């Protein structure tokens, strides 16, 4: 099923990086990951690793007894931990002749179209150079407003960024279950075709070193599968990635969907920051849903302060946001042409996303 996959993203949470006694980083696990990476390279495949664990590594390096409770503590401890963690990856992967590269991201950076493109181009260049990117959230500068919330979402965004063929999310639970995995009546859900239905079984949780839970994994998976990228939520087992690629799927397989967005439209839909809003009439709404560009003639109102090239929301007369797009005007220019015919597009269809089911 996955033998033809060329680019694979593997997400590793903090809990999985801890050893059995939770006294340090599980270097045996990283070593097995390196061995798998070596085999994947021999098969001419690309591997990207989205690795949590900076805070955990910092806690272990500093000999602390518990997870930090404030943003400042988290940032300081992750600064120590990220250095320690990447050293471990480099040391272990080097044993197998593999070169790694560290990339630290924040959503704030990816909300900017130029930075988004820079990140994508940098990752693609690393892959061209036969380097394995080790990607993490930049905890040392992230604050509550700009964190991904959980690296499950970071992994999903990275998968979309590089147009991956498969996303593997490794989990302590080992998959999606109908109840708490430790419950005797709980059963593994081996396949998911509708994530919304599966969400009823998932809860959120905060473990000793990690954040999020199965709900965040499913919500992040929705991002990937909506871009045509299948997802496997799998257990921490030896050679798990190689097993999945060979067809021995362990955990939960989430089927990909027909691509909703691609390229620039994916960025507009998922990450772009809205700077203003236009309200459109019924005729314009119908035209937009039929794939047409937004013309000033169909605009009834302009709100906000935005420049040409910034993203604005599109709202219908019922007060429902039906899409987003890159404005061809600044707010003053657009206000001056409201309702007028024979004007250039306010938002070109190539720079617009119209949401489904609205």
pLDDT at 145: 42
pLDDT band for 49, please (50, 70, 90 cuts): very high
CATH number of the domain at 305, please: 2.30.130.10
Report which secondary-structure segment, H or E, holds 86: helix 71-94
Report pLDDT for 242: 97
Any idea which of 29-38, 216-225, 240-249 has the lowest mean pLDDT?
216-225
Q: What is the pTM of this model?
A: 0.87
**Strand ranges inside the chain, DSSP E:** 7-12, 46-51, 99-105, 131-137, 166-171, 176-177, 188-189, 191-192, 231-235, 252-254, 274-280, 299-304, 311-315, 321-326, 352-354
- Lowest mean pLDDT of 109-118, 146-155, 312-321, 338-347, name the range: 146-155
Give the mean pLDDT of the chain: 89
Give the pLDDT score at 183.
81
pLDDT tens digits, one per residue of 50-95 = 998 888 899 989 989 887 888 888 889 989 999 999 999 999 999 9
- Tell me which DSSP letter residue 9 carries: E
Confidence (pLDDT) at 149: 52
Residue with tokens 């924040």: 106
Print burial letters for 320-334: b (CB count within 10 Å at least 16), e (below 16): eebbbbbbbbebebb
Whether 180 is in a domain gets the answer yes
Q: Does residue 313 have a pLDDT over 90?
A: yes
Give the mean pLDDT of 321-330.
97
The answer to whether residue 236 sits within a structural domain is yes
175 and 34, same structural domain? yes
The pLDDT value recorded for residue 148 is 55
Which pLDDT does position 214 carry in this prediction? 81
Give Cα 337 to chain centroid, integer Å: 38
Same domain, 230 and 310: no
Better pLDDT: 19 or 122: 122
Residues 148, 106 within the same domain: yes
What is the pLDDT, as a whole number, of residue 165? 96
Q: What percent of the chain has pLDDT over 70?
A: 92
Q: How many domains does the chain have?
A: 2
Range of the domain at 325: 273-354
Which pLDDT score, from 0 to 100, does residue 55 have?
A: 86
At 317, give phi and psi (nearest 5°): -70, -15
pLDDT in tens, 154-201: 999 999 999 999 999 999 889 988 887 778 888 899 999 988 888 877
Q: How far is CA 349 from CA 110, 264, 288, 289, 335, in A?
A: 22, 11, 8, 10, 20
14 shares its domain with 108: yes
Domain of 172: which CATH number? 3.40.1160.10
Token code pair at residue 285: 């709404």
Which of these three, 239, 264, 289, is where a domain ends? 264
Tell me whether residue 1 is in a domain.
no
**DSSP bridge pairs for 9:** 48, 167
Taking the mean position of all CA atoms in its chain, how far away is CA 322? Answer: 23
- Strands 252-254 and 191-192 turn out to be parallel
In-domain check, residue 334: yes
**CA atoms of 48 and 135, how far apart (whole Å):** 8
Is pLDDT of 104 > 90? Answer: yes
Among 70-74, 276-280, 312-316, whose mean pLDDT is lowest?
Answer: 70-74
Q: What is the pLDDT of residue 285?
A: 97
pLDDT confidence of residue 357: 65
d(CA 103, CA 127): 13
């Amino acid at each position: 099923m996955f033998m033809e996959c060329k680019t694979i993203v593997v997400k590793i949470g903090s809990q999985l990086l801890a050893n059995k006694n939770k006294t340090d980083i599980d270097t045996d696990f990283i070593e097995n990951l390196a061995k798998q990476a070596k085999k994947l390279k021999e098969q001419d495949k690309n591997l990207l690793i989205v690795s949590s664990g900076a805070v955990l590594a910092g806690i272990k390096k500093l000999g602390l007894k518990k997870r930090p409770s404030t943003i400042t503590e988290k940032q300081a401890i992750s600064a120590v931990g990220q250095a320690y963690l990447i050293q471990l990856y480099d040391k272990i992967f080097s044993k197998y002749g593999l070169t790694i590269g560290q990339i630290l991201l924040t959503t704030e950076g990816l909300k900017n179209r130029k930075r988004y493109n820079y990140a994508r181009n940098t990752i693609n260049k690393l892959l061209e150079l036969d380097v394995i990117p080790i990607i993490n959230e930049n905890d040392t500068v992230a604050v509550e407003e700009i964190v991904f919330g959980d690296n499950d979402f970071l992994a999903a965004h990275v998968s979309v960024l590089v147009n991956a063929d498969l996303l593997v999310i490794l989990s302590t639970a080992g998959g999606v279950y109908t109840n708490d995995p430790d419950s005797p009546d709980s059963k593994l859900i081996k396949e998911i075709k509708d994530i919304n239905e599966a969400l009823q079984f998932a809860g959120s949780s905060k473990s000793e070193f990690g954040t999020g839970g199965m709900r965040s994994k499913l919500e992040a998976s929705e991002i990937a599968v909506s871009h045509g990228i299948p997802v496997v939520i799998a257990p921490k087992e030896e050679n798990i990635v190689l097993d999945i690629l060979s067809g021995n799927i362990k955990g939960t397989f989430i089927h990909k969907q027909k691509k909703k967005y691609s390229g620039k439209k994916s960025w507009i839909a998922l990450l772009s920051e809205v700077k203003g809003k236009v309200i459109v009439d019924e005729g314009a709404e119908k035209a937009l849903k039929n794939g047409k560009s937004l013309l000033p003639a169909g605009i009834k109102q302009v709100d906000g302060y935005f420049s040409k090239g910034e993203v604005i929301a599109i709202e219908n007369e019922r007060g429902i946001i039906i899409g987003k797009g890159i404005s061809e005007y600044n707010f003053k220019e657009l206000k001056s042409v409201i309702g007028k015919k024979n004007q250039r597009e306010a938002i070109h269809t190539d720079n617009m996303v119209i949401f489904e089911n609205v």
